[in-house]
Amino acid sequence: MSNRASKRAVKNGLKNQPNDFLACRDMRHAWDVSTDYFLAEDDNCIIRELECMRCHACRRDSFQIARDRRLVRNGTSYTYPEGYLMKGVPRGNKSQDLVRGEIYRRMLAQAAEASR
């Protein structure tokens, strides 16, 4: 996919995203601990689970215990709510400028609607 087509896919996808999803894309997720550190016996590692307070994405961090008893993160996985990931847009696409543009467009539309 060309850069131009990718930008178009992002712009089109953002139009259908709820405000909470846009906030997370703009400012990153607002993580809260949903399950504090616990020992996952089958993997022999420590797990911590987080949930975003805005969009409800879930993050699962996996840690190994180092010899000096530090926790060393060795993996992270994410589960996103329905509709968060956009078709045609590669995961990790850094398009904050387009996200901010969509937030600004909505703000202007809301202000115009309020002034009628």
For the chain, give every domain's residue range: 1-17+87-116, 30-85
pLDDT of 102: 92
Q: What is the pLDDT of residues 9-60, one digit of tens each?
A: 888 889 989 999 999 999 999 999 999 999 987 777 999 999 999 999 999 9
Q: Would you call 8 helix, strand, or coil by DSSP?
A: helix
User: pLDDT higher for 108 or 7?
Assistant: 108
Residue 93 and residue 10 in contact, taking contact as beta carbons nearer than 8 Å: yes
User: Rounded to whole angstroms, how far apart are CA atoms 1 and 93?
Assistant: 13
Q: What is the pLDDT of residues 73-95, one digit of tens each?
A: 999 999 999 999 887 766 666 67
Backbone torsions φ then ψ of 92, nearest 5 degrees: 90, 0
Which amino acid, 101?
A: G
Tell me, yes or no, if the pTM score tops 0.75.
yes
pLDDT of 12: 86
pLDDT of 44: 79
The residues, ordered by sequence, that sit 6+ positions from 73 with a Cβ below 8 Å of its Cβ are 61, 62, 63
